[in-house]
Amino acid sequence: MKTVFSGVQPSGNLTIGNYLGAIRNFVELQHDYACNFVVVDLHAITVPQDPAALREQSESVASLYVAVGVDPQKANIYMQSHVPQHAELGWLLTTLTSMGELERMTQFKDKSSGKESVGAGLFVYPSLMAADILLFNTDLVPVGEDQKQHLELARDIAGRFNHRYGEFFHIPEGYTPKVGARIMSLDDASKKMSKSNPNEGSRINMLDAPDVIRKKISRATTDSGKEVRYDPAAKPEVSNLISIYSEFSGLSIAEVEQRYEGQMYGPFKKELAEVVVSVLEPIQQRYHEIRKSGEIHEILRQGADRARETAERNLKLIYERMGFIPKA
Ligand code: AQP
């Protein structure tokens, strides 16, 4: 069976960008692949995190995986920090990564721009992400478009390792949905929707109450025109809302345009809010049940135990290839 790896950072409340670009796809993939769906807490600390908030967000992300329909019996759901081989391989692969490669990462440029002090972890984080993927000899990585450059680096590092130490790693492929791979901010369609954006109105969180979703969508930026028409260059904000509508309703972009032909933004936005609420409400209900039951801790323990077994086996082989003396 081929292997899938994907992770989400517990760096805030998950947005519908995280949902459409990544975790919604986990559910389909779990039937055909050996899946590891991880809460990548070691990545979250590449920017400062409040300890209590990190704990809460970590449990929240793991519970959301289950609430959207990931089956813990089929897929390994676990915390990255519970499988220390991630960090170990991260170090090994950092030594195979060049400064130039890391300097070219646009996410590093975005997240560090304008900051007086930037942690070294933020700079080397793509090597840790490569380790996450390669630790399981992953074949397929479901990611949104923003992560494609990091995945490309993981592929390069895998190729470099194979060239230097002999064929070992599979070269992982990305699995990016055609639409929904890049959901933009509600206040500025030139930026992706992001859970760490300080403007709460820029995003819809998966756990936002229905009235909050309605309010955020009604306030979403639109151009001064009237037509509900998909044209990302001329009408980026409206086009982003049409994409969200299409993704949540299952209608094609053309069908959404047709439905609102001759209508103004008001009715379109109102119905968009209802479409989003109708998908998120049952997920939220399941989420609250999972949190109340406390079952997530056992799910995380079992997921980490299974993942650690494979990780230990693979890491031992990697150390050997690199010339380390095996433990007696
Ligand atoms: N706006 C988006 N549209 C589509 N996919 C998205 N993803 C993130 N934002 C969008 C996908 O969600 C997965 C998890 O991402 P992550 O938590 O590892 O970090 P990120 O890509 O940096 O996401 P955020 O929400 O912007 O987090 P912060 O603000 O903490 O940096 C990935 O597969 C990503 O592609």
Which sequence spans correspond to the domains of the chain?
3-176+294-322, 200-288
Query: What is the Cα–Cα distance from 15 to 21, expressed in whole angstroms?
Result: 10
Give per-residue pLDDT as tens, 237-274.
Answer: 999 999 999 999 999 999 999 999 999 999 999 999 99
Ligand 1 pocket, residue 205 CB under 6 Å? no
Ligand 1 pocket, residue 214 CB under 6 Å? no
Question: Is residue 131 packed enough to be buried (19+ CB in 10 Å), middle (13-18) or exposed (0-12)?
Answer: buried
Q: Up-side HSE of residue 185: CA atoms within 13 Å toward CB?
A: 15
CATH superfamily ID and name for 200-288? Tyrosyl-Transfer RNA Synthetase (1.10.240.10)
Ligand 1 pocket, residue 45 CB under 6 Å? no
Residue-level length of the chain: 328
Tell me what pLDDT residue 7 has. Answer: 96
180 backbone φψ class: left, alpha, beta (φ>0; ψ -120 to 50): left
Residue 178: active-site member? no
Written as six digits, the tokens of 212 are: 């909050």
Residue 148: active-site member? no
pLDDT at 315 over 90: yes
Q: What 3-state class would DSSP assign to 267?
A: helix
Q: pTM of the predicted model, to two decimals?
A: 0.94
Q: What is the largest CA-CA distance in the chain?
A: 75
Q: Ligand 1 atom 34: the closest Cα is on which residue?
A: 144
Ligand 1 atom having least distance to the Cα of 11: 30
Tell me what pLDDT residue 179 has. Answer: 64
Q: Residue 200 — very low, low, confident or very high, per pLDDT cuts 50/70/90?
A: very high
Ligand 1: which of 9, 60, 149 to mutate, most ligand atoms within 8 Å of CB?
9
Q: Ligand 1 atom 26: the closest Cα is on which residue?
A: 194
Ligand 1 pocket, residue 181 CB under 6 Å? yes
- State in words which class domain 3-176+294-322 has: alpha beta
